Amino acid sequence: MRSIAAVSLALAFSGSVSAHGYLKYVDHKGIAYGLWEPFSDPYYNPLPLRYDRTIADNGPVVGMQSSNITCNNGGNNPANVGVIEVAAGDTLKLVWDQWGSSHSGPVMTYMAKCTPNCASFKGDTGSPWFKIDEFGYDATKNPPWGSDYLARQGAWWRVTIPPTIASGEYLLRHEILGLHVAHELNGAQFYPSCVHLKVTGTGSDSPSGVALPGAYDPNDKDGILISLYQINQGEKVYTAPGGPVWSKAAAPLQTTATATGSVYTATSLAPSVRGATTATTSATTAATTASTSRTTTLVTSTRTTTAASSTTTSRTTTPVTTTTSRTTTPATTTSRTTTGSTGGTVGAWGQCGGIGYTGATGCVSGYTCKVLNDYYSQCTPA
């Protein structure tokens, strides 16, 4: 029973911080590479094959001077991670599980060459990183903050692998910085993910120069210790941390004046089973297989997660000491549970439903509550 209780706790917890998010897929040429699912993957044995480093939960890295800033709170373990093969100059779509519009801030993407390869490289010492893309605050855009633009276009972002970088393995570090409580020291909330890439091509550039940790200063009054309000009012110019985008990076892809897009649906999934030799399968088939035929085994784990909103609390999940078998039921596209709804009205682009969500479910005039995924429904223009 303790095992089941632990799972319920994990699920309840995931709902309680559902304003946060994590990177869920990298889409390369129509193939979705699944990334670490912090609320379900730890319970599988064997662990699924994922293409990024483990993250502890969907909450932020709070405090930017520890090595947790490098690749999120998850241990930055480089071993046993899948590698996505791409060519220099290729475009990637970086898909979040969700992103709430209350968490405004910049969207930044960095890379670092893995020396000698990504299976052993941590990137948390020296200055191996270089920035390949950034969208901070741009008053000519609607919405003007990068993360709000990301949310509005469907919780995804597109970047180009710099065309002239040397071939080899790289970490791609994609990050949202939530600034909604950044007026407090260490209130800035960082949401990084590190994806493993193998870049092919004939380029010879080897940029670097950014240290993570190191580049982010808690007292940076242009990018980190700031008031969203002042910037929104045009009283202050915003400069994202981490220095400028590398001069030979490709042009940004989020260029339309008004963010448009639609929620991403994976059509072909890359292998998610260790040792699998099969090519890609249809997402529907793969998802059904994953959720119906898999009997999972709970594994012993101790995790400390940080709930972040304006206040920060710490919670420790006790180790599961018994091993239980359970069969998960298939996820369907129609069952979504919003528990303990209070009725009421949510503003434009606010959350209005989803598993574990307990807030208001109505939308302001002109908006309707649209299901984005099982965990997130959003008030979108009617």
Contact set with ligand NAG (CB under 6 A): 56, 63, 66, 68, 73, 304, 306
User: DSSP 3-state assignment of 57?
Assistant: coil
Which residue number, 66 or 293, has a Cβ lying nearer to ligand NAG? Answer: 66
Shortest CB 267 distance to ligand NAG, Å: 34
Shortest CB 260 distance to ligand NAG, Å: 36
Is residue 54 packed enough to be buried (19+ CB in 10 Å), middle (13-18) or exposed (0-12)? buried
Structure tokens at 119: 């299976």
Short-list 118, 151, 138, CA closest to 264: 151
> How many helices and strands, by DSSP H and E, does the chain display?
5, 21
Measured CA angle at 127 (ends 126, 132), to 5 deg? 155
Shortest CB 66 distance to ligand NAG, Å: 3
Shortest CB 53 distance to ligand NAG, Å: 12
Shortest CB 59 distance to ligand NAG, Å: 8
Which residue number, 66 or 260, has a Cβ lying nearer to ligand NAG? Answer: 66
Shortest CB 206 distance to ligand NAG, Å: 30
DSSP lists the bridge partners of residue 160 as 91
Which residue number, 58 or 68, has a Cβ lying nearer to ligand NAG? Answer: 68
Which residue number, 47 or 307, has a Cβ lying nearer to ligand NAG? Answer: 307
Indicate left, alpha or beta for 233 from its phi (over 0: left) and psi (-120 to 50: alpha): alpha
Structure tokens at 255: 């260029």
What spatial distance separates the first Cα and last Cα of the chain, rounded to whole Å?
Answer: 45
User: DSSP 3-state assignment of 313?
Assistant: strand
Number of other residues whose CB lies within 10 A of the CB of residue 380: 17
Which residue number, 68 or 109, has a Cβ lying nearer to ligand NAG? Answer: 68
Which residue number, 104 or 306, has a Cβ lying nearer to ligand NAG? Answer: 306
Number of other residues whose CB lies within 10 A of the CB of residue 235: 9
Beta strands 268-269 and 31-34: pairing type? parallel
Shortest CB 95 distance to ligand NAG, Å: 23
Shortest CB 134 distance to ligand NAG, Å: 25
- Residue entry with tokens 């080897």: 206
Shortest CB 8 distance to ligand NAG, Å: 21
Which residue number, 186 or 297, has a Cβ lying nearer to ligand NAG? Answer: 186
Which residue number, 10 or 369, has a Cβ lying nearer to ligand NAG? Answer: 10
Which residue number, 42 or 201, has a Cβ lying nearer to ligand NAG? Answer: 42
Shortest CB 380 distance to ligand NAG, Å: 33
Which residue number, 56 or 94, has a Cβ lying nearer to ligand NAG? Answer: 56
Is residue 238 packed enough to be buried (19+ CB in 10 Å), middle (13-18) or exposed (0-12)? buried
Short-list 188, 155, 200, CA closest to 174: 155
User: DSSP 3-state assignment of 203?
Assistant: strand
182: Cβ–Cβ under 8 A, 6 or more apart, which residues?
105, 188, 189, 224, 225, 226, 227, 228
Query: Cα separation of 243 and 127, whole Å?
Result: 12
